[in-house]
Amino acid sequence: MEKNYEIEKKVISIFQGILKEEDCNINLKRSEYPNWDSMLHIELIFALEESFDLQFTEEELERINSLASIIKFISSRNK
Amino acid sequence: MTKNFSSRLEAAMSKFSQQEILFSEKLSRIDLGSIKTELKKSNLKLINVYRNHNFESLIPFVDLYSSYADDGYRFNIGDYDSSLCFSSYNDAANLELVWFDFTLIDGLKGSDLLEWFVDRIDYLRVLSNKPILILPVFKGVLTSSELVSCLDKKPGVYVVNLAEYVSSQNSTLTQERLYKLAGTKICNEAQMILARALALSWLPSFFRPELKAVLFDLDNTLHKGVLGEDGIEGVVLTRAHKELQQYAKFLLKQGIFLGLISKNDEYDVKKLFKIRVDYPLKIEDFSVLDVSWGSKSDAISRASEKLRISTDSILYVDDNPGELASVLSEVQGINLVFAHDNPVITKIAIEYFPGIWRWKVGADDLKRIDDLKAIDRRRDFEKKLTNKSDYFEKLKISLDFYYDDIETLERASQLSSKTNQFNLSTKRLDEIEINARMKSSSSSVVMISLSDYLSDSGQIALVIGEMIDFKLVITELCISCRAMGRGLESSIILYAIKNMGLYRMGMTIYFDYKIEARNSPAIDWLKGLGAKINENNNSQFVLDSKTVDMFDVPKELKVSLNGKKL
């Protein structure tokens, strides 16, 4: 089971790799990242699912609007 | 080492190292993303994409895989359009791709939906004479077999049932949960699988020649271990090696020649295949067996001569990068796969090598293997005979001529696109172009089958005549290499011309030609008949009317026209 800080670190690393963002604030909304367009969003979600070996539910997919929300959904699977 | 070879070698080694990720059993988006690619910038093929769900997310993977194949594509993607109006049609495109999810269609169902879709494809055919590739998502609404049976006989239309294809790769095509996120229900792994198939199998099948032979090294390629060191019982057929050998058997059933090129003692290798009954491959499965301590490049060149194919139609598989480098430097145009420690990767790398994919396997593809085996027996037979007519008679040679017969369309297109040595104009006509000539009253398409006492070679020649400015012009003329060397060229071609409805006694015959690297046999044959370059058109030969008027096939040959014996 991965600890929350490990999940956060891994999510940020994947996010930075895909969006080519060096600085990131997990609390910023998706709309606040100009690069975070729909194509990269799909890529990010698939990369996260692959990396954490999980599938987000349809409801979770609709509610993902920041890195914080992603970390929250992944962490909840660990409980 | 020249700079040119050095860069080719570097590129080849880089590709070998990428094989583990590109052809992994379980594709990973993250791993694929780690491969740096240099996209091709020129000679890109343009593909019109008509779609009602997201296609764009496949493109990075198509780019990655097409870069591995040294190919490149540009996609002209239309808006989401379930009505298929083809408003984004661009007449410069090389292919029409219909990327369509039937589960997104409301209203029409069953046969009504099928009828509507076939009607839209017919309309696309009116707009475009390019191949049409249909990649549909079905589920419950319409079965693929219904659609395929409706579209299969339409020239130049190709359909892949994506669910079946992805399932064959041990994955799942769709998940409903993804639609709102991605604009398509196609799953992550399925996207990568389909992009790989598009870039390495389906698209190259329209733009590249088919590979005709796969030659294997033996040790640490078809089994684990070294025969000379481990012995017959010591080399190991792992489960994955067994699957690789079974896949090689599958290639054989696709009409692809197999060869074994090994540095070993021939006696030991033959004994291995005799004793190891657990090996799916048998010694007789190899059309070429070249086992010696000599150079592999020389062995591959000998294989090319024996199979009567050029080295750029051959894929060579070896676990030794040094051997591969040597072959790359010495064998013109050869295609290479590095046999990985894990044979599963080797199998997938072969399966996805551009030129391996076949849309259909016809009876003529399967005859190719047996026909080659008959060559040696035919040569022995020939040695015992005293003259040509005796040879024709004793061999019981039959030639069957078929005029404008739609049943021969697929093979006619294959001959036009694949034949290299006896191909006069190298026009590379596709099914759509040949079909138009079959239907036209001012042209005639002749397909010729050949059989003898030793083998049935199937449909081996194509001759197309067209009336152009009141002249009979032979615009396409191909004879498969498997029919060459039997002294039948004139009987095949001149008899085909003489029996065209367009032909009249006293007519001068014109032949379109183009000099290519490998088609000298066709040009030499025509010159041998006394044909001269047309003074008014230097891309044509002109043949005196008497040559055809006076010609008749030797009486020892059995001949039929459209199935009627003469």
Q: Please state which of the four CATH numbers 3.40.630.30, 3.20.20.190, 2.40.50.140, 3.40.1160.10 is assigned to the domain occupying B363-565.
A: 3.40.630.30
| pLDDT at res. B561 | 92
| pLDDT at res. B487 | 84
* Span B206-248, pLDDT tens digits: 999 899 999 999 999 999 999 999 999 999 999 999 999 999 9
* Span B349-408, pLDDT tens digits: 999 999 999 998 888 888 888 888 787 777 777 777 767 677 777 788 899 999 999 999
Helices B3-22 and B343-351 sit at what angle, rounded to 10 degrees? 110
| pLDDT at res. B3 | 58
Residues of chain B with CATH 3.40.50.1000: 213-351
Nearest to B537 by CA among B504, B506, B514: B514
Would you give the DSSP letter of residue B198? Answer: I
* Span B102-141, pLDDT tens digits: 999 888 888 888 889 999 999 999 999 999 999 999 866 5
Architecture of domain B213-351: 3-Layer(aba) Sandwich (3.40)
| pLDDT at res. B142 | 59
| pLDDT at res. B2 | 61
Q: Residue A42 and residue B177: Cβ atoms within 8 Å?
A: no
A55: nearest CA partner in chain B: B177
CATH class of residue range B37-206: alpha beta
A53: nearest CA partner in chain B: B28
**Low pLDDT (below 50) residues in chain B:** none
> Nearest-5° angle of CA B153, CA B421, CA B439?
30
For residue B220, what are the β-bridge partners? none
Q: How many residues does chain B have?
A: 566
| pLDDT at res. B111 | 82
- Tell me the average pLDDT of chain A: 88
* Single pTM value for the model: 0.85
* Span A26-49, pLDDT tens digits: 888 888 888 888 889 999 999 999
In order of their start, the domains of chain A are 4-77 (1.10.1200.10)
| pLDDT at res. B419 | 87
A50, A51, A62: residue with CB nearest B180 = A62
Q: How many CB atoms lie within 10 A of CB B253?
A: 11
Pairing of strands B257-262, B132-137: unpaired
Q: How far apart are CA B479 and CA B523, in angstroms?
A: 12
Q: How far is A40 from chain B (nearest CA, A)?
A: 9
Q: How far apart are CA B28 and CA A51, in angstroms?
A: 9
B176, B180, B188: residue with CB nearest A50 = B188
Q: Residue B177 and residue A57: Cβ atoms within 8 Å?
A: yes
| pLDDT at res. B101 | 94
Residue type, B423: N
Helices A4-19 and A67-77 sit at what angle, rounded to 10 degrees? 140
| pLDDT at res. B394 | 77
Interface with B, mutate which of A11, A15, A30, A39 (most B CBs under 10 A): A39
Residues of chain B with CATH 3.40.50.1110: 37-206
B56: nearest CA partner in chain A: A39
Residues with Cβ within 8 Å of B437's Cβ and at least 6 positions away in sequence, in order, are B429, B443, B444, B445, B464, B466
Q: How far apart are CA B121 and CA B26, in angstroms?
A: 35
Q: Residue B30 and residue A50: Cβ atoms within 8 Å?
A: yes
Phi-psi region of B440 (alpha: psi -120 to 50; beta: other; left: phi over 0): beta
